[in-house]
């Protein structure tokens, strides 16, 4: 068993096959695989003690290790990234109250401060089992695009529903429409994470292919944090090109400011 240090642990689930974009985790971003770029970003967070890629692919495993990162082999049978993270948390020996953060492997431009934002509710309130991030949509094409998952919340900031459809529907034209896009960044207390992984998949989870709906369908609350940061999710080769261009611009800005 891996010796676990104190602090919050980051996990990046990555599976071998992607039906929408085959080979996506190993797609090159200026000399390094995308999954390695994500791991490097996560490691910049001051609250992350350790960060791991959790994968079912030996190719991804060796790619991460060859670039100096930590990786864990996990089962090919997992139903979702959260289930994969649950296995990885067991492998590294997280305690029941320890916090695991699930960062999607297709967001190499994620701002490290978003990890602090998503863990905030769990650090502030021990009763909260799980939290996630949303961002106010500013690009009109995301309002109707199924890859941009929309989120609605209650007055306490808990999720009411997540959908690939456009929600809510603004019938009253006097109300200015506001939509929130879900960022696939989650924080869980480990005892809840292990419980989540044992729950049967729900009807809505299967219908929308959104793992977070499993928690809602079984009556568990998800606290939602509204972040001011956006992050490009790589779902298509076109998204990858956007990331490469943005990454190059950021590197140029950083180097010119030194």
| CA 173-177-180 angle, 5° bins | 160
Greatest CA span in the chain, whole angstroms?
A: 58
Domain edges within the chain? 8-229
Q: Report the C-alpha gap between 117 and 69 in whole angstroms.
A: 24
pLDDT per position as a tens digit, 224-239: 999 999 988 898 889 8
pLDDT per position as a tens digit, 160-193: 999 999 999 999 989 999 999 999 999 999 999 9
Residue 142 has what pLDDT?
95
Residue with tokens 């956006």: 230
Q: Report the C-alpha gap between 78 and 75 in whole angstroms.
A: 6
CA dihedral 6, 215, 181, 9 (to 10 degrees): 10
Residue 257 has what pLDDT?
58
pLDDT of 1 > 70? The answer is no
pTM of the complete model:
0.91
Q: Report the C-alpha gap between 43 and 86 in whole angstroms.
A: 20
pLDDT per position as a tens digit, 14-61: 987 766 677 899 999 999 999 999 999 999 999 999 999 999 999 999
Q: Where are the beta strands (DSSP E) in the chain?
A: 8-14, 28-29, 32-33, 48-55, 71-73, 99-103, 130-136, 150-153, 159-163, 180-189, 223-227
As to burial, measured by CB atoms within 10 angstroms (0-12 exposed, 13-18 middle, 19+ buried), residue 111 is middle
Q: Which fold has domain 8-229?
A: Spore Coat Polysaccharide Biosynthesis Protein SpsA; Chain A (3.90.550)
Using the Cα atoms of residue 224, residue 230, residue 231 and residue 233 in order, give the sign of their dihedral: positive
Using the Cα atoms of residue 98, residue 10, residue 165 and residue 232 in order, give the sign of their dihedral: positive
Q: Report the C-alpha gap between 38 and 232 in whole angstroms.
A: 12
Which pLDDT band holds residue 7 (cuts at 50, 70, 90)?
A: confident
């Amino acid at each position: 068993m891996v010796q676990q240090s104190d602090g919050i642990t980051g996990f990046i689930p990555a599976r071998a096959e992607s039906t929408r974009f085959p080979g996506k985790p190993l797609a090159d971003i200026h000399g390094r695989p995308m999954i390695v770029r994500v791991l490097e970003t996560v490691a910049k967070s001051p609250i992350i003690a350790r960060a791991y890629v959790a994968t079912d692919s030996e190719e991804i495993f060796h790619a991460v290790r060859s670039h100096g990162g930590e990786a864990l082999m996990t089962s090919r049978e997992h139903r979702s990234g959260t289930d994969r993270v649950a296995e990885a948390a067991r492998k590294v020996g997280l305690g029941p109250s320890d916090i695991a953060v699930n960062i999607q492997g297709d967001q190499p431009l994620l701002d490290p401060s978003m990890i602090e934002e998503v863990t905030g509710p769990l650090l502030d309130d021990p009763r909260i089992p799980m939290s996630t991030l949303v961002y106010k949509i500013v690009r009109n094409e995301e309002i109707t695009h199924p890859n941009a998952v929309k989120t609605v919340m209650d007055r306490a900031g808990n999720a009411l529903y997540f959908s690939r459809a456009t929600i809510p529907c603004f019938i009253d034209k006097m109300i200015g429409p506001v939509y929130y896009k879900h960022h696939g960044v989650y924080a869980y207390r480990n005892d809840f994470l292990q419980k989540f992984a044992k729950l049967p998949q729900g009807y809505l989870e299967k219908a929308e292919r959104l793992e977070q709906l499993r928690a809602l369908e079984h009556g568990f609350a998800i606290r939602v944090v509204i972040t001011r940061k956006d992050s490009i999710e790589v779902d298509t080769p076109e998204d990858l090109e956007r990331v490469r261009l943005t990454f190059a611009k950021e590197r140029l800005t950083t180097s010119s400011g030194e």
